């Protein structure tokens, strides 16, 4: 009971409120989680000299080039995965011609969730 006296009831309520947040907020890393997916599934076309880059201007070799986007502009809207074109094309919500990977197998649900979480956590170079 002395523990309760020391931090007070208010302290306990605060601790309990923060508990779920502490576990839910496991951070997704660009370098460890997201980039390996792009490297494996997208880079063969999205770098200079390859079809995806030549047609769309999207270079996926680095964080900076991903954030620059296509010739039409950014495809990642930090904290808004649903409106990010990157997610639209990998979720196949786009026109068949721009479903990615182009004419390839869709990314797994797990891979797509990682991309979404990373964007909603701020799309940082972490």
Instruction: Give residues in contact with ligand HEC (CB under 6 A).
Output: 41-42, 44-46, 51-52, 55-56, 58, 70, 75, 85-86, 89-90, 97-98, 100-104, 107
Task: Work out how close the CB of 56 gets to ligand HEC at its nearest, in angstroms, rounded to a whole number.
Answer: 4
Task: Work out how close the CB of 99 gets to ligand HEC at its nearest, in angstroms, rounded to a whole number.
Answer: 9
Q: What angle do CA 41, 59, 55 make, to 5 degrees?
A: 95
Residue at token pair 């004419």: 103
Task: Work out how close the CB of 122 gets to ligand HEC at its nearest, in angstroms, rounded to a whole number.
Answer: 19
Tokens for 10, please give them: 């208010």
Q: Name which of 110, 87, 109 is nearest 98 in CA terms.
A: 87
- 84 vs 121, beta carbon nearer ligand HEC: 84
Burial of 5 (0-12, 13-18, 19+ CB in 10 A): exposed
- 16 vs 95, beta carbon nearer ligand HEC: 95
Tokens for 5, please give them: 């006296």
Asked if 74 contacts 67 with a C-beta cutoff of 8 angstroms, the reply is: yes
Tokens for 72, please give them: 């039409």
Task: Work out how close the CB of 23 gets to ligand HEC at its nearest, in angstroms, rounded to a whole number.
Answer: 29
- 28 vs 100, beta carbon nearer ligand HEC: 100
- 75 vs 121, beta carbon nearer ligand HEC: 75
């Amino acid at each position: 009971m002395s523990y309760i006296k020391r931090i007070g009831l208010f302290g306990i309520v605060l601790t309990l409120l923060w508990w779920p947040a502490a576990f839910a907020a496991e951070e997704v890393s660009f370098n460890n989680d997201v980039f390996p997916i792009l490297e494996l599934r997208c880079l063969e076309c999205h770098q200079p000299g390859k079809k995806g880059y030549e047609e769309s201007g999207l270079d996926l070799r680095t964080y900076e080039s991903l954030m620059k986007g296509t010739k039409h502009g950014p495809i990642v809207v930090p904290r808004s995965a649903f409106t990010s074109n990157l997610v639209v094309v990998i979720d196949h919500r786009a026109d068949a011609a721009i479903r990615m990977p182009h004419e390839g197998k869709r990314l797994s649900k797990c891979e797509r969730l990682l991309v979404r979480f990373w964007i909603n956590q701020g799309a940082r170079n972490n």
